[in-house]
């Protein structure tokens, strides 16, 4: 249960929102405020604060503990940097405009660097567990979200910002336009495993009665945010049995996209085809092979299979 924000805090956030809108896009303002609310609500749940956040008590220790909690939950260093930047900007405003702080608590707060990127290829058992969890939940929205990540390799932002007008799905065929947030739109055709759950969700009574340009909605912020998708995926994994949890507890939604690239490569797709489908393109619109290659790195087992093929040819 979230701790309520007191009226003084709400008034300050509203005033800060108007301040940001004078120089930032609506999208950036929305991201900053979501981070601030998450941070403030977390502090409000701490016993020492009695459920009320006082701006004057904003401290470096609060921020460091909050960032550590995010890291424990699997949030990337990039997201932690974004959180620190949002809170630092807010603290500067409290110092300069409201005189509620004497120093910025985010100053020199250390965020550990992101570990070297190693794309993940899931095992057949992990894939089976995840698909089974989705099937057991019997939730149309969840089915469609998972399918877009697992069967279409969509980014979290592609799913979060997907528009109804960009979904061209029918009973038999379907394609969507993704990449609206990044400004690099592309049209991708859908496998039956994606088309069917997306079509069923869009035509469900639950979705039809809601008037919104976004496909996936949220009562809190109008549409399902990227963080909301991460939270949904975390809640899905928590429904796993103990032996299933041990297999999939550390898998992230983004790793569904990485695994899609491996499966596409195994199915015979070229790097250029995978690059196009995943949206790895240069400013000139050509496939970015370098960006895609890291998603389809060879592993030791694959090399062993190639060596066996050489041995078999030599025997013949």
pLDDT in tens, the chain (316 residues): 344 556 788 888 899 999 999 888 887 888 899 999 888 888 777 654 454 557 777 888 889 999 988 888 777 788 899 999 999 999 999 999 999 888 999 988 888 776 655 677 899 999 999 999 999 998 999 999 999 999 999 999 999 999 999 999 999 899 999 987 666 788 999 999 999 999 999 999 888 888 889 999 887 667 888 888 999 999 999 999 999 999 999 899 999 999 999 899 888 888 888 888 888 876 666 667 666 776 666 555 656 666 777 777 777 6
What's residue 245's pLDDT?
93
SS3 of 147-163: the string is HHHHCCCCCHHHHHCCE
Which residue, among 25, 22, 44, 37, has the nearest Cα to 90 in the 3D structure?
A: 37
* 69 torsion bin: left (phi>0), alpha (psi -120 to 50), beta (else): alpha
Task: Spell out the domains of the chain, with CATH numbers in brackets.
Answer: 7-96 (1.10.150.130), 124-260 (1.10.443.10)
Exposure class string for 108-144: b at 16+ Cβ within 10 A, else e: ebebeeeeeeebbbbeeebbebbeebbeeeebbbbbb
Using CA atoms, how far apart are residues 300 and 44, in angstroms rounded to an integer?
49
Q: Would you call 284 exposed, middle or buried from its count of C-beta atoms within 10 A (0-12, 13-18, 19+)? A: exposed
**Residue 57, pLDDT score:** 77
Give Cα separations from 152 to 45, 159, 215, 260 (angstroms): 38, 10, 16, 7
Structure tokens at 307: 């060596």
* pLDDT, position 116: 56
pLDDT the model gives residue 180: 72
Question: Among residues 213, 254, 240, 214, which one has the least CA distance to residue 75?
Answer: 254
Amino acid 218: pLDDT:
81
């Amino acid at each position: 249960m979230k701790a309520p924000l007191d009226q003084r805090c709400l008034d300050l956030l509203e005033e800060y929102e108007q301040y940001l809108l004078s120089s930032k896009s609506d999208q950036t303002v929305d991201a900053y405020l979501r981070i601030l609310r998450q941070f403030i609500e977390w502090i409000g749940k701490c016993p020492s604060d009695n459920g009320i956040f006082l701006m004057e008590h904003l401290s470096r220790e609060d921020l460091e503990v909050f960032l550590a909690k995010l890291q424990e939950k699997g949030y990337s260093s990039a997201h932690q940097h974004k959180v620190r930047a949002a809170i630092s900007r807010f603290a500067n405003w409290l110092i300069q405009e409201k005189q509620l702080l004497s120093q910025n608590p985010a100053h020199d707060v250390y965020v550990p660097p992101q570990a070297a990127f190693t794309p993940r290829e899931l095992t057949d058992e992990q894939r089976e567990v995840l698909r089974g969890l989705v099937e057991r939940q019997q939730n149309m929205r969840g089915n469609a979200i998972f399918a877009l990540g697992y069967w279409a390799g969509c980014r979290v932002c592609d799913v979060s910002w997907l528009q109804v007008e960009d979904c061209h799905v029918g009973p038999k065929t379907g394609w969507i336009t993704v990449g609206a947030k990044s400004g690099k739109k592309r049209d991708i055709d859908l496998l039956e495993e994606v088309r069917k759950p997306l079509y069923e969700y869009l035509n469900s009574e639950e979705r039809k009665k809601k008037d919104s340009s976004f496909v996936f909605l949220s009562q809190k912020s109008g549409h399902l945010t990227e963080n909301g998708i991460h939270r949904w995926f975390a809640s899905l994994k928590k429904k796993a049995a103990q032996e299933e949890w041990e297999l999939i507890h550390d898998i992230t939604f983004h790793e569904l996209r990485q695994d899609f690239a491996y499966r596409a490569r195994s199915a015979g797709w070229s790097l250029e085809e995978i690059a196009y489908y995943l949206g790895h393109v240069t400013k000139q619109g050509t496939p970015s092979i370098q960006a895609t290659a890291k998603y389809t790195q060879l592993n030791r087992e694959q090399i062993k299979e190639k060596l066996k093929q050489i041995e078999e040819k030599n025997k013949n």
